Structure 1
Amino acid sequence: MLLLLKEIRGNPILWLLAFVPMVFVAQQLEPEAHTLLFVLSVLAIVPLATLLSSATEAVAAKTGDTVGGLLNATLGNLTELVIALAALRAGQYTLVKASIAGAIVTNTLFMLGASFLLGGLKYHTQEFNRDSARLQTCLLFLATIAIMTPSAILDSGSFSTPAFTHQLSLGLSVLLIGTYALGLLFSLKTHREFFGSASHHEAGDEIWPMGLALAVLAGVTVLVALVSEVFVESVQEAAVTFGMTPAFVGFIVVALVGGAAEMASAFSGARKNRLDLSVGIALGSAAQIALFVAPVLVLLSYVIGPAPMDLRFWPGAVVMVLISTMTAFLTTTTGRSAWFLGVFVLMIYVVFAMTLYLLPPNVQ
């Protein structure tokens, strides 16, 4: 506990934790003040993400960067899952699909590119395990095919009825979850010797005990999920105030805020020359969303949703996910990175973000 207090006192960003209770107070007193709630929730998520980063690094120091990256991706994606479940119960399937596709693109391009850039500004070159990156990009490519298929079939003939689309999506969801489970078995059990860390992180940092790190991980994850619900409830109204299109909100804003915890860990790892952790979080999170979170939401829609949800995404989202997957594959094949590689990946993300920001509100 003393280590935690020392961390909070020594990091000015963590002083923003004071905004966490303010979010819940404001929600009770001014539930219609959407712009205020939006700003407060963003200010609260930032320190929570920083704290989650410190706890994840402590766990990764004991378990290795491969398991640490998987753990961070899983806990970070819990936020996206909570956001999507809230929208799923309300029948807002467009928002659900936009947040899924946006999270994949944001993790694959923004998180990966920013990690390359931040690490490259401190180190001339950095290395990471390309076998692990190749596995994650291959899983992403499989998920992209599963997303593309219902969208392509629906436009190819009259036989693509809603019943057919739902049946196909249901079958694909089961296949994707099974493939993701086999991928974990492959990387963590049967062939784990191929997925060790290639980087050498800096020594000298004070490491939290495992019990404290796990307790902080659990508590902060819950708080992030609760604050994220406030964020989702207020973001649509706040978007109108700030002049943001619905496509930009679902694809960019929700994905950035929902992935703040993972990004903090990935960026911190890159600056400490632990690029395996950064790449594992970025690509592992994207693969987990595509192969686990999205299929689980399809299955849960039959239980908690007003109607079944399918895996048919609008064409623009499919194209962006495909380009993101191809970019990740091309930039990770060598197992080395430098700052300009990060600029290259980030520019692709900026192209997508600019397009969505300027997109007319009635276009999907």
Structure 2
Amino acid sequence: MNPLLRELRHSPLLWMLVVVPIVLVVETVTPSAHTVLFVLSVLAIVPLAALLSHATESVAARTGDAIGGLLNATLGNLTELIIAVAALRAGEYMLVKASIAGAIVTNSLFMLGASFLLGGLRHHVQDYNRAGGRLYSALLLMATIALLAPAAVAELDLARGETMAQRLSVGLAVLLISAYGLGLLFSLKTHKELFGSDDHSKASQVEWPLGLAVGTLIGVTVLVALVSEIFVGSVQKAGETLGLSPAFVGFIIVAIVGAAAEMAVAFSAARKNRLDMSVGIALGSASQIALFVAPVLVLLSYLVGPKPMDLQFWPGAVTMVMIATVTACFITNSGRSAWFIGALLVFIYVIFAMTLYMVPPGSHAAI
């Protein structure tokens, strides 16, 4: 247990774990305090995500590149997946779709931009392997095109359009998962020499024993599931109280909370001039969401949801994802960065957040 205790003692982010039992007690004592439960569950998910991330890395580091890459693909966004599954069970499909689109945009604009900004404030110009950025950007672009396809059936009559959208979404889900699998094969097996970098060295990271890492992974996953149930159960009422739409909560809050641990690692790496790691985390996580998490949720909706979920997003979400993807493609093409580039990416993200807050989907002239 020494590695875990050492991590808890030296990581201020993990000190927030004290909130986890508090939110469970408050939910038992006063289940109607939706706003309090919403705030506490958000605060509780952040350290759980950090602990989950560290346990995942420790397991993956002991399994080799191929299996380790697959584990990171499967478990890297486990927090977002658990929250989305809880929302699926509750029938909160707007929250689910907003969290998917928000995670893609948050990772490819805010996380990447803030990494460039923080790294650029310490280092005049930073270089990174643009092959990885190009791969992830290409995968994101393909996924965004897939998100545009269900809009083609939106003009059909209601009954026929809904059926066609569901069928198309299932086909797209299988296609996206296949594309992500081929991407893993390409980057981890057949052309892995293109993506190598000294920045990815983990020599300074203290690995946990396998048993401790697996046990932590299982225990934290259960806690994340419990807290996610509380979060989803309180989000609608708390959103109304705080003046936040389900789309804004999913797009901004869930996306940032779910990626908090990854952001901490990406920002720290950028400050240490390890920008390859930051770009890989930001765009790699975005591509995981687009090509793995989103299609898995579509397939899971047939098992756990009140009805099947499709990939038909509201027009503003598709537009923002497309802009974020094209921007990421353009930015990562050079393989160099400076602080001002990061500032511009963060500004684009803030524009999206302000627009979504002031003009939520379904309102007059909604985005």
- TM-score by structure 2 length? 0.88
Give the Å deviation of 1:202.
Answer: 9.4
| Mapped contact 1:78–1:225 kept (Cα < 8 A) | no
**Corresponding residue for residue 336 of structure 1:** 336
Residues 218 and 124 (structure 1), Cα distance of their counterparts in 2 relative to 1, 3 Å cut: farther
The farther-off stretch of 71-80 and 348-357 is 71-80
Cα distance per residue 1:6-60 (max 9 Å; x no partner): 3322333332221111111111111111121122222223333444455566668
**Corresponding residue for residue 289 of structure 2:** 289
**Partners of 2:3 and 2:69 in 1: CA distance:** 23
Residues 303 and 52 (structure 1), Cα distance of their counterparts in 2 relative to 1, 3 Å cut: closer
**Partners of 2:55 and 2:269 in 1: CA distance:** 12
Give the Å deviation of 1:269.
Answer: 2.5
**Corresponding residue for residue 190 of structure 1:** 190
Give the Å deviation of 1:72.
Answer: 4.8
Residues 112 and 213 (structure 1), Cα distance of their counterparts in 2 relative to 1, 3 Å cut: farther
Residues 126 and 148 (structure 1), Cα distance of their counterparts in 2 relative to 1, 3 Å cut: same
The farther-off stretch of 270-279 and 218-227 is 218-227
| Mapped contact 1:69–1:278 kept (Cα < 8 A) | no
Cα distance per residue 1:146-179 (max 9 Å; x no partner): 1101113423899963322222222111111111
Show the 5 A alignment for 1:215-230. Answer: 215-230=215-230
Residues 84 and 52 (structure 1), Cα distance of their counterparts in 2 relative to 1, 3 Å cut: closer
Aligned-partner SS, 1:91: coil
| Mapped contact 2:116–2:338 kept (Cα < 8 A) | yes
The farther-off stretch of 338-347 and 160-169 is 160-169
Cα distance per residue 1:263-296 (max 9 Å; x no partner): 2232233233332222222111111111122112
> Which stretches in structure 1 are left out of the alignment for 5+ residues?
none
| Mapped contact 1:245–1:359 kept (Cα < 8 A) | no
| Mapped contact 2:248–2:357 kept (Cα < 8 A) | yes
| Mapped contact 2:176–2:295 kept (Cα < 8 A) | yes
The farther-off stretch of 225-234 and 100-109 is 225-234
Aligned-partner SS, 1:199: helix
**Corresponding residue for residue 124 of structure 2:** 124
Give the Å deviation of 1:316.
Answer: 0.4
Aligned-partner SS, 2:311: coil
Cα distance per residue 1:93-146 (max 9 Å; x no partner): 222211111111111111111122222223333332211111111111111111
Residues 84 and 240 (structure 1), Cα distance of their counterparts in 2 relative to 1, 3 Å cut: same
**Partners of 1:119 and 1:67 in 2: CA distance:** 31
Cα distance per residue 1:203-234 (max 9 Å; x no partner): 7x462345245554454344334323322222
Give the Å deviation of 1:349.
Answer: 0.3
**Corresponding residue for residue 32 of structure 1:** 32
Give the Å deviation of 1:70.
Answer: 6.8
| Mapped contact 1:52–1:220 kept (Cα < 8 A) | yes
**Partners of 1:4 and 1:90 in 2: CA distance:** 34
**Corresponding residue for residue 350 of structure 1:** 350
**Partners of 2:290 and 2:266 in 1: CA distance:** 19
Residues 61 and 278 (structure 1), Cα distance of their counterparts in 2 relative to 1, 3 Å cut: farther
The farther-off stretch of 180-189 and 257-266 is 257-266
Residues 156 and 304 (structure 1), Cα distance of their counterparts in 2 relative to 1, 3 Å cut: closer
Residues 130 and 68 (structure 1), Cα distance of their counterparts in 2 relative to 1, 3 Å cut: farther
**Partners of 1:303 and 1:10 in 2: CA distance:** 41
Matched, 1:47 2:47: yes
**Partners of 2:70 and 2:104 in 1: CA distance:** 15
**Partners of 1:53 and 1:299 in 2: CA distance:** 25
**Corresponding residue for residue 106 of structure 1:** 106
Aligned-partner SS, 1:298: helix
Show the 5 A alignment for 1:81-92. Answer: 81-92=81-92
Supply the AA of the counterpart residue of 1:2: N
The farther-off stretch of 7-16 and 335-344 is 7-16
Q: Percent identity?
A: 66
Matched, 1:207 2:206: yes
The farther-off stretch of 119-128 and 17-26 is 119-128
> Which stretches in structure 2 are left out of the alignment for 5+ residues?
none
Count of aligned positions: 363
| Mapped contact 1:52–1:265 kept (Cα < 8 A) | no
**Corresponding residue for residue 169 of structure 2:** 169
The alignment yields a C-alpha RMSD, in angstroms, of 2.9
Show the 5 A alignment for 1:186-335. Answer: 186-197=186-197, 199=199, 205=204, 207-211=206-210, 212-213=212-213, 215-335=215-335
**Partners of 1:83 and 1:57 in 2: CA distance:** 21
**Partners of 2:312 and 2:361 in 1: CA distance:** 20
Residues 40 and 139 (structure 1), Cα distance of their counterparts in 2 relative to 1, 3 Å cut: same
